[in-house]
Amino acid sequence: MSSDQDHLKETDTEARFEFKKDEKSAFETEKGLTEETVRVISEDKDEPEWMLQRRLRALKQFQEMPMPEGWPGAPDLSEVDIDHIVPYIRPDIETRGGAENWEDLPEEIQDTFDKLGIPEAEKNALSGVGAQYESEIVYQNMQERWEEKGVIFCDMDKAVQEHEELVKEHFMTKCVPPSDNKFAALHGAVWSGGSFVYIPEDTTVNMPVQAYFRMNSEGMGQFEHTLIIAEENSEVHYIEGCSAPKYSAFNLHSGGVEVFVGENAHVQYSTVQNWSKNTYNLNTKRAICEAEGTMEWVSGSMGSKATMLYPSTVLKGPGATDNHITIAMAGEGQDIDTGAKVYHNAPDTKSTIESKSIAKDGGRTNYRGLVHIADGAEDSSTSVECDALMFDNDSTSDTMPYMEIQESKVDVAHEATVGKIGDEDVFYLQSRGLDDDDAKQMIVAGFIEPITEELPIEYAVELNRLIELEMEGSLG
Amino acid sequence: MSTQVHATLSEDAVEQISSDLDEPEWLLETRLSALEALEELDMPDVIQTPGRKWTNLDALDYETLVDPLDYAQDKDRIDAEGVDVLSWSEALDEHGELIEDHFGSVVDPQRDYLTALSTALFSAGTVVYVPEGVDAEDVKIRTTMNSQSLFNYTLVVAEESASVTILERQTTGEDIDGDQYYSGVVEAVAGENAYVQYGTLQNLSEESYNYQVKRGHADTYGSIDWIEGNIGSRLTKSSVETRLLGDSSESQIVGAFFGHDDQHVDIAARVWHEAEHTVADLVTRGVLDDEARSVYEGVQDVGTDAWDTSSYQRENTLMLSDESEADASPKLIINNHDTEASHSATVGQVDAEDMFYMTSRGVHPEKAKNMLVEGFFVPVLEEVAVDELREDLDQLIYERLRE
């Protein structure tokens, strides 16, 4: 274990990227993902037997399931060679904290964070083991306040040990079973880290719960699992700070998010992801919403080479509500295929989807959504609004909504527009003294305002900065 | 191989049809290779979401549906001055070269299993040839299917600055019982500055299965407008498509359907913008009652070279019954940023407030509902430029509401 760590320490940034291709890993004797790999992960985490069994079952499903294929216009996943990628899980776990020092981060990432104005403390929090503790201390402080109310917020690996019954009942059983898709199955087999959030009945956590530990060793990993359980009448806003680019040698991120929204509970899940542009971002995120509950998804997808991400909500109880606000931006070489899925399975359920996308420099954005209104979900309503902005002729912007309506007493509306950035608007702003770039940035900022206003101010600022950087072409 | 090929789908049968029509060798060869390709070809694409195909074409039983040599139809062709509206035998005789030039150039004969089947077996159909500069306003084709299966193939060629309006009605004869299969392929070529309007009113028996592909190529300043009215058949799978190949070409696709009982209507409206300054407008409205089901796919594809594109799409479905289902997927595929594109889709029921308003004015609820349904179709009917087609469609809607 330590020799691997030493090996990493010795190599410079570039070599670390190369490392990926060298197939030098703790599992170098094994090709692909094997039962042994899974057993070692589970053993390393000292997991109970049932979790190991779940992992092994997921592995079996993963091996049997086909790649997502036959989707019109789906991103090209042919490069995603599981045999190549999966053996690298082990070094990720072994080395406990990827980059040990801030200085080990690739220069472009450092630059990005400097430009983002991420506070020094946060930089440290992202830079390795020490910082990892630091971030845990932050959580600990928060926990003290919440603990009195019975709120639980901890690392997912820890939750398996300390909140076993809750995890056992909810973990990849009802919400995102491994059988959902090939990458959910992969996730189920090799998941590691992530957040566990439990809000007891009648409890309101009135400040956002933030998770920044993505780059930490315990919470590391491109296979992190987030499990949020909000009991009856509770309320929580969970924010995932994925603005930390997963620059590392791994090029597959396959996270899982499961949210249980109890009766009359309210959960908001916000995330701004900015994976490095060699990352395939293939997540499965789903919420189950009981009667009168409200689920809100707010997401910004900026980075990655290819993203396939369709946060979905099952409106299970009468009067449940689901709102999606998404923004996607694709630059050179990026294929951001994202959208939302809503299943209206009960009467009086409501959903809204608001999607904005920006494509530039040959990037591709696609809204791919599904609205399903089941027979019996009477008096349900849904409205989908997609707007796409395109900067140039090398870019592509697609909209592929699917609507399955099996109930007549409903109100379904879908609307989408695509347009170029308005020459007149740019001209107007220029005539007021702004240069071309500033004018365009201002137009984009206005375009995405409905999203940013849903985010806490620091995230909104960050999102805006990310977009500014992206538009300057200064993000690696 | 995707589907069981019927024993009678043989080279002999194809040769027999070809010889009946007195065809040239090249057409026979085209048919025979389509027949051969059946072994390899898949069913037409249908929309799929996880775990579900929206239209199950594999359920069609060709074994019992298709009998290649038993074809019977009544066909009325009303031509207009200066335009040739001909049966295949006549057309091959008079315009052999023209047909050889264009046949299969718009609709790939081997696009999928059902299209290849149509190419191999078509025995009915019409060629409409509109020479340069000719305006032909009132071409009418009425097809009545009097056999168990019928394969209809229509080729429309409008030369430079020609214009033609074609109205096609498809019905079933009264003397046929049981399941029937109707397959129609329409290829339309609009030359420079030419205008083709092709309206179809499909009212086949509700024991029939209906597969149709209509596709046009529009040259510079050319225009192709489609009107697609679907009332009949048990299952319809119909694709209406235009490729805007010339600068400033245009296309409008107007659709209306009304499904009841266990009817299933799968309609696609697709436009490819492949040149500069092209315009497309797709408008579809449908009503579903009882256990009827609709599947709608709309595609607006803007190519890299399609500068200054305008593309619009609207689809609205009205559901009158809880047992009905409306599925829709309006797709935008945009590869050129100099584009103004939008689409919208809605599904809903008869507006409760409107109902209340009308009943409070003394209108019987049943009548009020009928009026509102008829009113729902008005925006689409208004787009139908052919008076006769609009009136007939209106009449069929009226009758269906009062069945």
> Which residues on chain B are in Cβ contact (under 8 Å) with A411?
348
Nearest residue in B to A401, CA atom: B329
Whole-number pLDDT of residue A85 = 60
- For residue B360, give every residue at least 6 positions away whose Cβ sits within 8 Å of its Cβ, in sequence order, or none: none
Low-confidence spans in chain B with pLDDT less than 70: 1-8, 63
Q: How confident is residue A304, by pLDDT bands cut at 50, 70 and 90?
A: confident
> Which residues on chain A are in Cβ contact (under 8 Å) with B332?
388, 397-400, 416, 418
Whole-number pLDDT of residue B174 = 79
d(CA A298, CA B162): 54
Nearest residue in B to A406, CA atom: B325
* Of the partner residues B52, B338, B346, the one whose CB lies closest to the CB of residue A412: B346
Answer yes or no: do B331 and A398 touch at CB < 8 A: yes
Please write the tens of the pLDDT for every residue from A289-302. Answer: 999 999 999 988 88
d(CA A37, CA A34): 5
Instruction: Tell me how close the Cα of B110 comes to any Cα of chain A, in angstroms.
Output: 20
Answer yes or no: do B339 and A406 touch at CB < 8 A: no
Whole-number pLDDT of residue B48 = 87
Q: How many CB pairs under 8 A join A and B?
A: 121
Whole-number pLDDT of residue B78 = 73
Higher pLDDT, A331 or B2: A331
Nearest residue in A to B338, CA atom: A420
Instruction: Tell me how close the Cα of B294 comes to any Cα of chain A, in angstroms.
Output: 10
Residue B347 touches partner A, C-beta closer than 8 Å: yes
Chain A residues near any Cβ of chain B (below 8 Å): 70, 72-73, 359, 370, 375, 378, 388, 390-393, 395-421
Residue B320 touches partner A, C-beta closer than 8 Å: yes
Q: Which two tokens stand for residue B171?
A: 């019905």
Give one word for A6, left, alpha or beta, with left for phi > 0 and alpha for psi -120 to 50: alpha
Residue B342 touches partner A, C-beta closer than 8 Å: yes
Whole-number pLDDT of residue B1 = 35
Answer yes or no: do B348 and A396 touch at CB < 8 A: no
- Burial state string for A140-162 with b = 16 or more CB within 10 A and e = fewer than 16: eebeeebeeeebbbbbbbbbbee
d(CA B167, CA B215): 16
Please write the tens of the pLDDT for every residue from A129-173. Answer: 222 222 333 344 455 677 788 988 888 888 999 999 999 999 999
Whole-number pLDDT of residue A12 = 35
Higher pLDDT, A79 or A23: A79
Residue A317 has pLDDT above 80, yes or no: yes
> Which residues on chain A are in Cβ contact (under 8 Å) with B337?
359, 390-393, 395, 420-421
Whole-number pLDDT of residue A144 = 67
> φ, ψ for residue A79 (rounded to 5)?
-75, -20
> Which residues on chain B are in Cβ contact (under 8 Å) with A388?
332, 334
Residue A116 has pLDDT above 60, yes or no: no
Give one word for B244, left, alpha or beta, with left for phi > 0 and alpha for psi -120 to 50: beta
Please write the tens of the pLDDT for every residue from A423-462. Answer: 777 888 888 888 888 888 888 888 888 777 777 666 677 6
Answer yes or no: do B342 and A375 touch at CB < 8 A: no
Whole-number pLDDT of residue A84 = 64
State whether ipTM is beyond 0.85: yes
- Burial state string for B70-91 with b = 16 or more CB within 10 A and e = fewer than 16: ebebeeeeebbeebbbbebebb
Higher pLDDT, A473 or B112: B112
DSSP state of B248: T
Among A82-91, A187-196, B279-288, the range of highest mean pLDDT: B279-288
Q: How far is CA B74 from the centre of its chain?
A: 20
Chain mean pLDDT for chain A: 77
* Of the partner residues A393, A414, A421, the one whose CB lies closest to the CB of residue B345: A414
d(CA B192, CA B387): 26
Please write the tens of the pLDDT for every residue from A217-272. Answer: 333 347 889 999 999 999 998 877 654 444 444 567 888 999 999 999 999 998 87
CA atoms within 13 A on the CB side of A300: 27
> Which residues on chain B are in Cβ contact (under 8 Å) with A395?
335, 337
- For residue B382, give every residue at least 6 positions away whose Cβ sits within 8 Å of its Cβ, in sequence order, or none: none
Please write the tens of the pLDDT for every residue from A11-52. Answer: 333 333 232 323 333 433 345 678 888 898 888 889 999 999
